[in-house]
Amino acid sequence: MDFDRPHRRYNPLTGEWVLVSPHRARRPWLGQVEKRAGEVLPGYDPTCYLCPGNERAGGVRNPPYTGTFAFDNDFSALLPPEPVDPASTGDSASGDAGGLFRTEPEVGVCRVICFSPRHDLTLPELSQAGVEAVVRTWTEQTLSLSQLDFIHYVQVFENKGAMMGCSNPHPHSQIWASGHVPVEPDKERRMTADYLASHGACLLCDLLEAEQRKGERVVAANSHFTALVPFWATWPFEIMLVANRHAGSLTDLNPAEVSGLADILRRVTARYDNLFEMSFPYSMGFHQTPCDGQGYPGWHLHAHFYPPLLRSATVRKFMVGYEMLGMPQRDITPETAAERLRGLSEVHYKQG
């Protein structure tokens, strides 16, 4: 097949398709140009509500933490369950026109994880030990939240950069633990279960073996994790991290794998920053086994990086028009993106 011509690629994790149009990469750009974000940050900001010792909403004051710091989000999108009021009513599947206006309660817990007391250090700028501490905190939080009887899924994610809606530059991530499995991991839950039933094997184990054999979309790897641009990638420089061993959750990782995950996170995010010599924005999150008490033998731990930048530090990818109404579309092929990322140094540009 000629990958230089328009074609569709199938995503076996979601059952969806993406349109690839490589010839459009040559078109002139007359669209929106973003302002390049300022990158000079202090090590400590007295006005930052995430820095050690500073005041947060409601008068709560952060402790003088020296490593990672986790706390319940002061503006949580999810709330723990409350006693049910028998007199309460609401639209439901059984109450209205065959369920056209269905609602159901959602419960959960939202937490914030500060990576470091330093206001100015992102993941690729932290030491190996520093990133290992972040991974261990994600793991500890996943374990403690999954043990709550009303929690069935734990979503660890990071929004980096104002372009991705990050409201504070202090390096941090979030964890939203919910009573239902969210939409995106639920798609993957169904597709991996179907693949296991029809092939007798794990979808991501088979994918990883095929990608390692081809090599053209692999960006970085170590003994425990592989970073690759998915064959079906939607975002220009999208990356997926896949555990080399068939593990389901962060809580399944052994100490060597925690170190391996920290290493691959540092290497991938350093390449991202080196791409346009800037603090590279993205949304990143781990898809791990639901904690609803059911078995998921086909589930395989992985993380998605979705960065918005397209041509430079100031030209971003928009999902509009056909992409909102028809299907996602990309210009540069995943193979081209992987080759470009693979050719970048893993020494952070600020240190090089």
Round to whole Å and give the CA distance between 128 and 136.
12
Judge whether 287 counts as a catalytic residue: no
Round to whole Å and give the CA distance between 340 and 332.
11
Cα–chain center distance at 45: 27
Amino acid at 178: S
Chain position carrying tokens 């279960």: 193
Identify the CA nearest to 14 among candidates 197, 234, 228, 262.
Answer: 234
Round to whole Å and give the CA distance between 42 and 335.
38
Of the candidates 172, 300, 302, 304, the residue annotated as catalytic is 172
Round to whole Å and give the CA distance between 264 and 253.
14
Chain position carrying tokens 């710091």: 69
Round to the nearest angstrom and report the end-to-end CA distance of the chain.
Answer: 40
User: Up-side HSE of residue 346: CA atoms within 13 Å toward CB?
Assistant: 10
Round to whole Å and give the CA distance between 309 and 265.
19
User: Up-side HSE of residue 347: CA atoms within 13 Å toward CB?
Assistant: 2
Q: Mind telling me the catalytic residues?
A: 172
